[in-house]
């Protein structure tokens, strides 16, 4: 009888320890986990077409010479591993777009940015330094997790702060309410379809693990001529 009691007690203690460990891991990332979000594919140098709402991706929201600075077109069909065939990119091939820009159409930082962006107060930002560009997220598809850097704004929206930094679903209704664009490298790593479902969450750079997403890290900032 005593053996059974002690065995049960040991099991309970183990379960408590596992639960505590999981709780600590959850507390390490205070950012909202966005679940069941529709993801679509885009790429540096993508021409404007009906499929992307006639929005060219030759420049990005923050870089008027995005394709040039990347090193060329990030062709989604002709690949060499996670790189485009024909050249090694100058910037991270693991990139994404979310529908928020901390700068307005006149090139001025939105006053709201300091209040709604969780990391806004972590440092003093330069006049042409985006709080959003180059930030990291983790993207979860089943049992696979990829990491990527924020390099453009979209899909189909640029001021959906309630979704990007809150608990709301995306305002966009196109492509099954798409709320995230990811690069061909992310697509290939997670085996995504052209329109798919994922979970995503912001993550601090110090918490990004080693992987193909850290072979080339983008550090460039805003480039407007």
Q: In the CATH hierarchy, which fold is given to the domain comprising 32-214? A: Barwin-like endoglucanases (2.40.40)
Cα separation, 193 vs 40, in Å, equals 8
Mean residue pLDDT of the chain comes to 90
Q: What is the pLDDT of residue 224?
A: 93
Span 170-223, pLDDT tens digits: 999 999 999 999 999 999 999 999 999 999 999 999 999 999 999 999 999 999
Contact 87, 194 (CB under 8 A): no
Q: What is the pLDDT of residue 24?
A: 36
Of 180, 161, 170, 163, nearest to 115 by C-alpha is 161
Q: What is the pLDDT of residue 180?
A: 99
Q: Which long-range contacts (CB under 8 A, 24 or more apart) does 219-222 make?
A: 219/134, 220/63, 220/69, 220/91, 220/134, 221/62, 221/126, 221/128, 221/129, 221/130, 221/133, 221/134, 222/62, 222/63, 222/103, 222/128, 222/129, 222/130, 222/133
| pLDDT higher than 50, residue 148 | yes
Residue whose structure tokens are 């193909």: 212
Q: Where are the domains of the chain?
A: 1-30, 32-214
* Predicted model pTM: 0.85
């Amino acid at each position: 009888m005593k053996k059974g009691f002690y065995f049960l007690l040991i099991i309970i203690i183990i379960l408590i320890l596992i639960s505590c460990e999981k709780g600590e891991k959850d507390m390490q990332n205070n950012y909202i986990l966005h679940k069941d979000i529709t993801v679509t594919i885009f790429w540096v140098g993508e021409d404007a077409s009906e499929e992307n709402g006639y929005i060219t991706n030759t420049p990005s929201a923050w870089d008027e010479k995005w394709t040039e600075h990347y090193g060329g077109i990030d062709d989604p069909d002709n690949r060499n591993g996670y790189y485009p065939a024909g050249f090694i990119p100058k910037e991270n091939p693991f990139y994404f777009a979310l529908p928020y820009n901390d700068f307005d159409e006149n090139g001025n930082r939105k006053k709201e940015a300091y209040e709604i962006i969780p990391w806004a107060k972590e440092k003093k930002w330069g006049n042409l330094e985006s709080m959003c560009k180059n930030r990291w997220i983790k993207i979860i598809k089943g049992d696979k997790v990829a990491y990527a850097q924020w390099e453009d704004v979209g899909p189909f929206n640029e001021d959906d702060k309630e979704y990007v930094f809150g608990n709301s679903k995306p305002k966009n209704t196109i492509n099954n309410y798409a709320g995230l664009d990811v690069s061909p490298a992310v697509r290939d790593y997670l085996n995504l379809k052209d329109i798919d479902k994922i979970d995503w969450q912001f993550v601090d750079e110090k918490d990004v693990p080693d992987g193909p997403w850290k072979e080339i890290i983008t550090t460039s900032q805003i480039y407007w001529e």
